[in-house]
Chain A
């Protein structure tokens, strides 16, 4: 293997050089650079010298803890209740700010809580925004990867037919892919507009005025879902083309054989088409996963991470911190964490889909 790569293949290396060179220069080198920066206190703009700070950036980013908070009691030991009859708990800030008894939790903020008996278990984190970005990003990936991949396969099956004018449909489905994501995001901002956006108007017309317009991007409950829907629509055409390429590599003789055997449509798909798409499926899954982890432009154009951090993502935070808040080392730390996550997930996917 080594000799084949190094000696007898000079022109091959020559051809590969531009690609390898660019990848090294703009992906491999910056990655090692980011890894180094995440161990320093590098700022975007600063007259202060850069110092090595070890893992403190990671510590600040990843620290979480759980505080048990007991409900408030009056002098006789009875539990206090508010007007709704709910227990009253002291504020988290009384523990995490200037409280020497809880020094380990200094500066932490509540991420979420649950109740165990009367005691509230409060999960606190130094960097709540990071954890929210992480969960938003994972949520986005978990929904987008299967839905977008499946939808793209359905579209590919639909347009993989010899019908008159099928190319028009192919072009229509593919069109959102070639339009800049920034333009698409701006257009969808109008569609989702809370006052008289297109979506509100359509839903209101379809329900004969029953549906009350809502502010899709302005409500923490619908903002991420809106962005997921729009993102799936935007890139589905790209994966449709990959599926289509896979479909067209399946030999027609297999389909003929299946129909001679009397296979119905579902059996043909299950035992001919799907096995033939195996490698395509792996590619589509990994590509969608990686693209979904890199979610940035939609957020930057449509919501800026709001409302209430409901749409903030890891890449958005990396950029926001690195450039917006001039904290290059903080942005680099997020990038490294993201890289390790995507690497792990891709390797698990490779392992699960390996040739047995």
Chain B
């Protein structure tokens, strides 16, 4: 008798639940952050807040590990199973938009007018994706190192030039206190190479691809500026300034903190660790190699899949997630740069005078997105291999020529990628 009652209650309760759900339209969403508990908690919080805030939509979230995320989306797209709301890495977005995986994001421009440029994903003149955060890279060192080596502290207005930068490396090398003067993070293969190192090339005056047409890399990646960059790049490893491609990943993660390196080219995500280890950690702007200082921009962003039947619902969720509070939550939780100045003030690290506020300034002043083209996905791979080969001693001109040929062949094979 008792069990029958329980069963009936359960049935009634279940029926109520399902009828409540029927009134709302379900939206599916994929996210790349599986495995990171803090990140999962924040995104789950946003989803449940959104579901509670209105009665039209109910978002259900599915998380993937970052390494498998892009493959999952491509596979799902080929099988026609994309979710309504997609999470997409900024530089990859044009590829997915061009391939027809995504549709323009129908939110009002006024909502995002205060955003940093990096998190705004435009392709073909339309907004496709928007990020809650950005990421930035700085030359990490310690005030005590600069003092000991007798070096000027570079500023945003007056960064080091090539001579000063190399003089700093020479001074660090001559001091004999470090395994290597500079840690570039060669152990981090993949997107790190184009993200972190193509700004050096741009600062020399070259680029991965000619951005005026996006139809060729000839001249941009193998012109005089690129050759100068390549020779300089090779010299960093040949002359023992930086550990090469066989750098131990553990050294990349802890080498600077342990004092093995005088300078480390690293992102804001590693900044807290360095600050906790050494109070006098400094985050210096990228050196200016002749064509201005630049650093990479654009991180993960949200967009609407092309197959979504409810883009307005997906956009409503994305717009809901753009509240300063959530931007600040992500920043506090996993150290990302909040996308607006007002949300930066709500964070522990990026508020005025905060220990990482400098990254917000760096992003504002120096950020340049990676080439905005569907071909970037391939170009990034070609660029990564070229830089690894040059670091390993390959001939600079031949390697850059080969990279140009491969990029151009790919652009031609894709009929110009729709530019």
Chain A residues close to B by CB (< 8 Å)? 41, 43-48, 91-93, 97, 107, 109-110, 128, 193-195, 215, 217-218, 220, 304, 306-309, 320, 323-327
Contacts and interface: CB of A to CB of B under 8 A. Distances in A.
A195 B378 CA distance: 33
A56 B312 CA distance: 45
Given A91-B397, A109-B402, A327 B410 contact: yes
Contacts of A92: 398
Contacts of B96: 45
Contacts of B244: 218
Interface string B390-419: 001110011001100100011001110010
A308 B394 contact: yes
A124 to B, nearest CB: 11
A217 B96 CA distance: 35
Nearest to A107: B405
Given A45-B77, A304-B189, 19 more contacts: A46-B99, A47-B98, A47-B99, A47-B100, A48-B415, A91-B398, A109-B401, A109-B402, A194-B248, A195-B248, A215-B246, A218-B245, A306-B245, A306-B388, A307-B245, A308-B389, A308-B392, A308-B394, A327-B410
B192 to A, nearest CB: 13
B236 to A, nearest CB: 16
B377 A93 contact: no
A220 B414 contact: no
Contacts of A46: 99, 414
B157 interface: no
Contacts of B415: 48
Given A195-B248, A325-B381, A308 B393 contact: yes
Among A97, A107, A220, A326, chain B packs the most CB atoms within 10 A around the CB of A326
A93 B246 contact: no
A97 B418 CA distance: 27
A110 B392 contact: no
Nearest to B416: A48
B398 A110 contact: yes
B221 to A, nearest CB: 13
B95 interface: yes
B120 to A, nearest CB: 23
B74 interface: yes
A22 to B, nearest CB: 20
A45 B71 CA distance: 11
A93 B71 contact: no
Given A218-B244, A307-B388, A327-B413, A47 B418 contact: yes
A307 B401 CA distance: 18
A32 B251 CA distance: 47
Interface of B: 71, 74, 77, 95-96, 98-101, 189, 244-246, 248, 251, 377-378, 381-382, 388-389, 392-394, 397-398, 401-402, 405, 409-410, 413-415, 418
Nearest to A91: B397
Contacts of B394: 308
Nearest to A223: B246
A222 B151 CA distance: 40
A155 to B, nearest CB: 33
A91 B396 CA distance: 12
Given A107-B405, A218-B246, A326 B100 contact: no
B413 A41 contact: yes
12 contacts: A46-B414, A47-B98, A93-B397, A97-B401, A107-B405, A109-B405, A307-B392, A308-B393, A320-B381, A323-B71, A324-B381, A327-B378
A310 to B, nearest CB: 9
A301 to B, nearest CB: 12
A43 B98 CA distance: 13
A107 B409 CA distance: 10
A180 B108 CA distance: 51
A217 to B, nearest CB: 7
Nearest to A304: B189
Nearest to A306: B388
Nearest to B378: A325
Contacts of A215: 246
Contacts of A324: 381
A63 to B, nearest CB: 13
Contacts of A107: 405, 409
Contacts of A110: 398
Contact of A43 (B101, B381, B398, B413): B413
Closest 6 CB pairs of A and B: A218-B246, A45-B99, A307-B392, A325-B378, A215-B246, A308-B392
A21 to B, nearest CB: 22
Given A107-B405, A306-B388, A325-B381, A48 B398 contact: no
B414 A43 contact: yes
B381 to A, nearest CB: 5
B355 to A, nearest CB: 31
Contacts of B405: 107, 109
A93 B99 contact: no
Nearest to A108: B405
A323 to B, nearest CB: 7
B410 A325 contact: yes
Contacts of B392: 220, 306-308
A306 B388 CA distance: 8
Nearest to A43: B414
A134 to B, nearest CB: 17
Contacts of B98: 47
Contact of B246 (A45, A194, A309, A323): A194
Nearest to B391: A307
A251 B202 CA distance: 74
Contacts of A43: 413-414
Among A41, A45, A220, A306, chain B packs the most CB atoms within 10 A around the CB of A45
Given A47-B99, A326-B378, A217 B246 contact: yes
Contacts of A91: 397-398
B377 A326 contact: yes
Contacts of B402: 109, 128
Contacts of A109: 398, 401-402, 405
Given A306-B392, A307-B388, A327-B413, A93 B401 contact: yes
Contacts of B377: 325-326
A44 B378 CA distance: 12
B235 to A, nearest CB: 17
A265 B377 CA distance: 62
Contact of B74 (A45, A220, A304, A327): A45
A197 to B, nearest CB: 9
A91 B96 CA distance: 40
